[in-house]
Amino acid sequence: FIGGQMIKYICKCNEYLLEEESNRIREKRKQKDEK
């Protein structure tokens, strides 16, 4: 059933993007702390 797999794939993509975003925010915070 293609629909279900599509939803799973989209969820995985969203999780990955959230992970990337939180990593980026963490890096920015680190840079602020260093200054």
Task: Give the C-alpha separation, 1 to 7, whole Å.
Answer: 11
Copy the structure tokens of residue 1: 């059933």
DSSP code, position 35: -
DSSP code, position 1: -
In 1-35, alpha helices (H): 2-34
CA distances from 14 to 29, 30, 35 (A): 22, 24, 32
- Confidence (pLDDT) at 2: 73
Instruction: Give tens-digit pLDDT for 3-25.
Output: 888 888 889 999 999 999 999 99
DSSP code, position 4: H
Total domain count, the chain: 1
Q: What is the mean pLDDT of residues 21-30?
A: 96
Q: Which domain holds residue 34?
A: 1-35
